[in-house]
Amino acid sequence: MAIAGGEKKLKKPWQGRFTKDTTDAVLKFTASLPYDRRLAFCDIRGSIAHVEMLAEKKIINVDEAGQIISGLEKIRGEIADDCFPYDLSFEDIHMNIEKRLTEMLGSLGGKLHTARSRNDQVALDMHLYVKEEIETVDRFLKQLQETLLVLAERFEGVLIPGYTHLQRAQPVLLAHHLLAYFWMLQRDRERLEGALRRADLMPLGAGALAGTGFTIDRQLVADKLGFKKLYENSIDAVSDRDYIIDFLSFSSVLIMHLSRLCEELVIWSSAEFGFIELDDAYTTGSSMMPQKKNPDVAELIRGKTGRIYGSLMSILTVMKGLPLAYNKDMQEDKEGLFDTIDTLKALLPVLSEMLQTLTIDRSRLAAAVDDDYLCATDLADYLVRRGVAFRDSHHIVGNMIAFCKEEGIRLRELDSEKRSRFHPAFSEDISALLDPAKVAEARVSRGGTAPSAVREQLQLARKELAL
């Protein structure tokens, strides 16, 4: 339904002390209706709980409450059916709903706003909305974790080069590498749980900033709406946006983790690496070069990082100099939040689906791992077990590798006479140390890349998800 300017049949709730109408330019500049419409169902839900409380406290009578609730239910239906008459001249979704209710019920509609302000009303709607969306985002995150577990199990036993500084370092299991992202996401979900706790505070009853003189029951409203706690300070209740900052902070760390994952998907799918291939359904081609297969989904997720970071920096900047309590600046809390939620809800399912369909090139991976320089640390440890200080053994093995590179050979191609030049402790039994699979198997410490350790890690991961 389009948003119309419409004729002002009803005065705005705050217009009593004004002698002039708001100019069209100011109206368009200050109105939040084009984007806060998504709060409509939260607003109606909060209003119904508020009205029920007013009736139970005998601030309005039961018949009045019933008519108001019935009107709100009809409005909910109009919005659901996309036939609600939005009016931009009434600024936001909250005043639009009240205007429509007043059209239906006359002056009785005005009793809905008894004992509340738009300040605590909007705060309530935002808390309800954030709580709902956190549940959705968490569900998508859990699905992504499950996908990573499935991949780890599918590629059990597959070795890849582990990297530091994007240089080959030591052989690791692909499953171990994938599980690193699982644990990142687990911490993200813990951060999200913290954001939920901060959102699970009920602000209604704070009024504009000082509370209300009516004998309301804030706990009753909180119970009706499923809040665990109340704000204990009315000024804090209407001026707090920490829960939004917490959500955007969580989102920024999450998208950083996802960007790192997508960066590796981009690198690994390149011709230079060739470790994986992304499914055709999750890639695109070039308008000029027929051979191209571009990892656009991974790249775009990586690109969304700046967008989400920007939303966090925006709200931090908005809030950093505001005096208590409410200021119009705080209207800027919504667009960045809404955009971030929409972005996460769009990209998380797509990333899960893309990961489920990727394939690996086992021959390319085997060739990359078949580099016995990756086993150099184990050679150094071999000497340590024979009494050589690690710093000395590190230097000795470094010299061996420099020699091999100069000769164009691998470590395993050194004969016993050449090995003994570097240290007499080297014997024929070092050949087992130059097998990448054996090197990985030796990393049996908790959290290591040995198959036994990775299996334990998988069990812990599944326990975290209660699978």
159-164 vs 276-277, strand pairing mode: unpaired
State how far the Cα of 12 lies from the Cα of 51, in Å rounded to an integer.
Answer: 21
State how far the Cα of 342 lies from the Cα of 304, in Å rounded to an integer.
Answer: 11
- Tell me the DSSP string of 144-162: HHHHHHHHHHHTTT-EEEE
pLDDT grade, residue 419 (50/70/90)? confident
pLDDT one-digit tens code per residue, 254-279: 999 999 999 999 999 999 999 999 99
Answer for the pair 255, 305: CB distance below 8 angstroms, yes or no. Answer: yes
pLDDT of 5 > 60? The answer is: no
State how far the Cα of 50 lies from the Cα of 65, in Å rounded to an integer.
Answer: 10
Quick one: average pLDDT of 140-154? 97
pLDDT one-digit tens code per residue, 187-216: 999 999 999 999 999 999 999 999 999 999
* pLDDT value of position 45: 98
Closest CA to 199 of 171, 237, 170: 237
pLDDT of 287 > 90? The answer is: no
pLDDT one-digit tens code per residue, 81-116: 999 999 999 999 999 999 999 999 999 999 999 999
pLDDT one-digit tens code per residue, 297-315: 999 999 999 999 999 999 9
The separation between CA 356 and the C-alpha centre of its own chain, rounded to angstroms, equals 20
pLDDT of 393 > 50? The answer is: yes
Instruction: Please determine whether the domains at 15-114 and 119-367 fall in the same fold group of CATH.
Output: no
pLDDT one-digit tens code per residue, 345-367: 999 999 999 999 999 999 999 99
* pLDDT value of position 19: 59
* pLDDT value of position 378: 86
* pLDDT value of position 7: 43
Question: Which overall architecture, per CATH, does domain 15-114 show?
Answer: Orthogonal Bundle (1.10)
pLDDT of 1 > 60? The answer is: no
Boundaries of every domain in the chain: 15-114, 119-367, 370-465
Among all residues, which ones are annotated catalytic? 165, 286
Answer for the pair 61, 55: CB distance below 8 angstroms, yes or no. Answer: yes
User: What does DSSP assign to residue 428?
Assistant: G
Q: What is the mean pLDDT of the chain?
A: 93
Class of domain 370-465: mainly alpha
- Tell me the DSSP string of 215-262: ---HHHHHHHHT-SEE-S-HHHHHH--HHHHHHHHHHHHHHHHHHHHH
Block residue for tokens 């996460």: 344
- Tell me the DSSP string of 123-138: HHHHHHHHHHHHHHHH
In this predicted model, which residue has the larger pLDDT, 27 or 258?
Answer: 258
The structure's pTM equals: 0.91
Closest CA to 349 of 87, 136, 131: 136
* pLDDT value of position 6: 43
* pLDDT value of position 106: 96
Contacts of 371 (CB under 8 A, 6+ apart): 161, 168, 410, 436
Class of domain 119-367: mainly alpha
